[in-house]
Chain A
Amino acid sequence: MRPDADVIPVRRFASSLLSVLLRLAAGTLALLAGARTSGQPAQSKEYELKAAFLYNFTKFVTWPEERFADPHSPIIIGVFGKSPFSPELAAAIAARKTDGRPVLLRNVSTPATAAEVHVLFVPAWEERAAEAVLEPERKAGVLYVGETEAFREHGGTITFDLDRDKLRFVINMNAADRAGLKISAQLLKLAKRVERN
């Protein structure tokens, strides 16, 4: 028998615990406030991974020669609309090269500027706003990468796909052909699925 069971046994403890919690919450808020004022929000790890995929895609795609002014012209990865990539991550990409070409990450907000990039990443929340950039006349020489099946259905070249906790990608070869892009057999082999009509 436990004689104190008629009284909820941890009430007193809970009271003191509440006090501790309030202090912890205050400390947390202070830390968070400090974090917010000290710089940019943390880079999402999911999008860091997607950025690494985007960078890797540039190794497996051949663009039409006219897309580059000279052998040292950069490969430009555009991000349409609100970007999930931090400036630090953009700087990290800029430190890398593909076939001797610098790789740059650039924000894109209009269809006109979208045509200037080599890879255009359209985040899921920007798909509707990005419909104009997927019009056929703007597709030449641009690798369109998105996040949903609907994006691929509307002409996207590659879409990310989450499969059993791992990031995969699906390739729409018709879109690649229409854009005049050559995609290496190695990338096709790694794709979860390659769609052709």
Chain B
Amino acid sequence: MNSRHTLTHSRSSPGRTRVLGLLTLAAMAGFTPALPAADAKADPGEFTLFQLNLEDLMGLRIAGATGLTATDGRRLPVALTKFSAPQIEQSGATDLNRLLELHVPNAQFIDHHHLQPHLGFRGIISDREDKYLFQINGRTMNNGTLLGADNERALPLLGDINSVSVVRGPAAATHGAGAIAGVIDVQPFTGLTFQGSDLTLRQGFGQRYTAVEARHGRRLGPGAGVFVYYGAADVKGAESDYYIGRSFAANNGLPANVAGQPLPQGAGAHGGAGFGATWHKLHASFVQGPFEFWARFVQDGGRDRPMREIYSMTRPATVSLEEWTRGRQFQNRQFTVSGRFKQELGSQWSLDLSQSFDRWAFRDQRAGVYQLPTRNGREDEAASRAIAIWQPAEDRSLAFGFEYSHTWYHNPPFSDTLDRAPVVTERKWQANLFSVLTEYQTKIGERWTTFLSVRSDRHRFSDWLTSPRATAVFTPTEADTWKFMIGKSARRSGDEELWSQWARSRTIPKPESLLSYEVSYHRKLNDRWRAGAHAFYQNYDAIGWIPSLYYSSDIGKFDIAGGELTLAYNTRRTQITFSEGYSRLVRASLPAGAPAAGQTVTAEPYGYGNDLAEWAPFITKVALTHELSPAWHLSASAVHYSGFPGAKAYSEYAATFPTPPSAVPVSDRGYDVPYGPNLFVNAGVEFRPSRQWRLRLDAHNLAALADKTLSKRNYYFRLSEFSVQPAALTLTVRRTF
């Protein structure tokens, strides 16, 4: 609810306020075809929206909230950040990674030498994107084989997105199996939410890319519409400096590397497309009453920079210098079709059915120091979901149902896990996942709303993994909202590793889990200002890659505490958001017999520091948009990471090894620049000379103009390495037809 709505509440009579609250709930449950429509009412007197004045009506949301049972945004049983297309356009963010980095409190974005960069929430981040779910219209898009949410985030093609909702913290019970650290749910436009046609051209300078997007949306009737989007991008990346934190003498035909100076050899473009291929995104949807169909195709994949092994390993005579210093490159292709039926059945029941099919194919080339064969993979997944929602009274509702998915894995010619000795010869396999889930929502008086949610997942290679969640929301006044949340999410390992372990030993691994305790408080200070505070404590029982086993297993238990402060200012012409995120390690314990440097979450168990190694304790974000006039709009944003003291501590620990492991930070003694703060500053201006034309100019990474090592992007595992994010420009031209 927005502040205007709140003001109306404060002036309303108690009876009218109750009507308004109920109407708000009803509206949230039914305005979008994706949600159950309210019951047709034969009695004209029951069209109670006519009792509201215009200000009240403008406070009602017409899109649904997240969760199984319907509620309003204020009472959601999770910590959720939502932003929509106007904010996305005005942010100037070039891709989802940077968009989420800017808008989601306590979210961290970090680079990697393997596959796509990584996102994390509240101190939980991994070298694979499998700690959170990436969803389109609520359908999980993660690759199960190994990569997780390794698709779509780097595309400079955001024109199909109507809104993005991000949950921080464990959310398996409400959002899907395996949601340990959070959920990103992208809601594309439909024919009901986008009208007209436009063409957008975008040219990046500094971060070199050319992108074109076309979209068309049309209502065909009440509750019916069609939307089509296509975008393509030729992404070259940035010829920016790359730093390796440790000095090396000249070797392998490479000149010496000096810590604190850019790699003299050069490292190829940063953030460019793998294999030089064009990136594509196609999305089409058709809505007709309770039916919704959509199809989506995405092709992307990047080219990473080389690791420091180009110095520490010996180049074979048969390998050219160009090949030796070539980073990993990869390509993803994902095609998804989905159909959904959502309908009310009488006054108390509604049904939500969906069926989808997804194909993900990837190519992963590791030439360089590893000289491994190109790894190809493909998985096909058919997924079904059926949820029934029963609302016997206005103060309680129950949702229950199941999900079932079946996945086919297609004969990978080379596989990290399957091709280690002893080689797994069965290269085609199948697995299925069956889940049951339920949520019960009840209101206790005017002030309390409670949610009890639980899901249990049984995979072919797992026992039942149960993820419960309980939330109590206390709303003592129209301005104040308290939430008390306890949630646990369980996650099985990657599907290829599960098969590898099963084929070799007929065993199933221990799952990982995260138990979170959270309290939040939000207050509407006045018509324009809103403030919020979150505090969390997480027990993280983690699994990670064990090289000697060739699959993931127990790496330790880590308690992480922290919080977020948020502040928002919102008027018709100006929007400002601010957040401060804090996450730190409380304690860590490793399993008996754990090898040295067997995990990189923290060096604390080895006696070095007490911080998370891959996480900045403080993350500050601020974004501003302002409408100077109908024709001129301004935007500015900044993201600040306080530094990586845990990585510095880990590098000190790594220095005790005669030969430091590969996947840890290693830097010269006294060279601490990589572990210092990162700052990304952006600004944009938009000119709308007419309805048909929009011109926009965005400047990115402006802090690099003052100090290029300030706008640096560190690498996961090896935070001693970083690439400079150079100052860059994006020019956008949109023609509306």
Please report A residues at the B interface, Cβ cutoff 8 Å. Answer: 1-3, 5, 8-10, 13-14, 17, 21, 24, 28, 31-32, 35, 39-49, 51-53, 55-56, 59-60, 82, 84, 86, 88-89, 91-96, 123-125, 147-150, 153, 162-168, 187, 190, 192-193, 195
Contact = CB atoms under 8 A, between A and B. Distances in A.
A60 B54 CA distance: 10
Contacts of B463: 2
Interface residues of B, number: 72
Interface of B: 2, 26-27, 30-32, 37-47, 49-50, 52-55, 57-63, 82, 84, 86-87, 163, 192-193, 195-196, 218-224, 289, 343-346, 351, 386, 402, 404, 430-432, 434, 458, 460-461, 463, 502, 505-508, 572, 630, 691, 736
A197 to B, nearest CB: 11
A44 B691 contact: no
Contact of B62 (A24, A49, A56, A95): A49
A59 B222 CA distance: 26
Given A124-B219, A167-B60, A92 B44 contact: yes
Contact of B31 (A31, A42, A49, A153): A49
A10 B458 contact: yes
B42 A165 contact: no
Contacts of B402: 17
| Residue of B38, B58, B402 ringed by the most chain A CB atoms within 10 A | B58
A41 B192 CA distance: 18
Contacts of B39: 42
Please provide the 9 A-B residue pairs with the shortest distance between their CB atoms, ordered closest to farther: A84-B222, A92-B44, A92-B47, A42-B40, A124-B219, A52-B49, A45-B30, A165-B63, A91-B44
B345 A88 contact: no
Contact of A55 (B50, B61, B404): B50
Residue from A39, A42, A86, A148 whose CB has the most chain B CB atoms within 10 Å: A42
A88 B42 CA distance: 6
Contact of B50 (A1, A21, A52): A52
A28 B220 contact: no
A44 B37 contact: yes
A45 B55 CA distance: 18
B458 A43 contact: no
B9 to A, nearest CB: 15
A166 B59 CA distance: 7
A45 B508 contact: no
Contacts of A44: 37, 222-223
B404 A14 contact: yes
A21 B37 contact: no
Contact of A125 (B31, B49, B221, B460): B221
B59 to A, nearest CB: 7
A148 B30 CA distance: 22
A157 to B, nearest CB: 15
A167 B62 contact: yes
14 contacts: A5-B460, A5-B506, A5-B508, A32-B343, A46-B32, A46-B62, A49-B57, A49-B62, A92-B46, A123-B221, A125-B219, A167-B60, A167-B62, A190-B55
Given A49-B49, A123-B222, 4 more contacts: A10-B404, A43-B41, A163-B86, A166-B61
A153 B691 CA distance: 8
B37 A1 contact: no
B47 A88 contact: yes
Nearest to B736: A149
B87 A164 contact: yes
Contacts of B42: 39, 88
Contacts of A124: 195, 218-219
Contacts of A153: 691
A46 B224 CA distance: 12
Contacts of B62: 45-46, 49, 162, 165-167
Contact of B54 (A88, A95, A165, A190): A190
A47 B57 contact: no
B57 A56 contact: yes
Contacts of A13: 434
Contacts of B351: 28
A9 B736 contact: no
A100 B630 CA distance: 37
A82 B219 CA distance: 12
A85 to B, nearest CB: 9
Contact of B47 (A24, A39, A89, A168): A89
B506 A88 contact: no
Contacts of B43: 88
Contacts of A95: 44-45
B32 A40 contact: no
Contact of A147 (B61, B195, B460): B195
A5 B53 contact: no
A16 to B, nearest CB: 12
Given A28-B351, A153-B691, A147 B219 contact: yes
B219 A123 contact: yes
Contacts of B430: 8
A41 B346 contact: no
B91 to A, nearest CB: 13
A41 to B, nearest CB: 7
B460 A8 contact: yes
Nearest to B575: A164
Contacts of B87: 164
Nearest to B29: A45
A192 B630 CA distance: 11
A9 B49 CA distance: 51
Contacts of B224: 125
A40 B40 contact: yes
Given A42-B37, A148-B195, A82 B58 contact: no
Given A49-B27, A166-B2, A167-B58, A195 B630 contact: yes
A88 B40 CA distance: 9
Contacts of B289: 41
A45 B223 CA distance: 10
Contacts of B59: 166
B23 to A, nearest CB: 10
Nearest to A1: B507
A19 B392 CA distance: 27
A147 B86 CA distance: 17
Contacts of A123: 219, 221-222
A45 B31 contact: yes
A47 B222 contact: yes
A160 B304 CA distance: 46
A126 to B, nearest CB: 9
Contact of B53 (A14, A40, A41, A56): A56
A166 B49 CA distance: 15
Contacts of A52: 47, 49-50, 52, 57
A53 B54 contact: yes
Contacts of A162: 62, 193
A168 B58 contact: yes
Contact of A92 (B37, B50, B55, B508): B50
A187 B53 CA distance: 11
A42 B342 CA distance: 13
Given A14-B404, A49-B31, A49-B57, A165 B221 contact: no
A129 to B, nearest CB: 12
Nearest to A82: B221
B346 A166 contact: no
Interface centre among A51, A166, A192 (most CB of B within 10 A): A166
Contacts of A2: 463, 508
Nearest to A84: B222
A192 B39 CA distance: 30
B524 to A, nearest CB: 16
Nearest to A147: B195
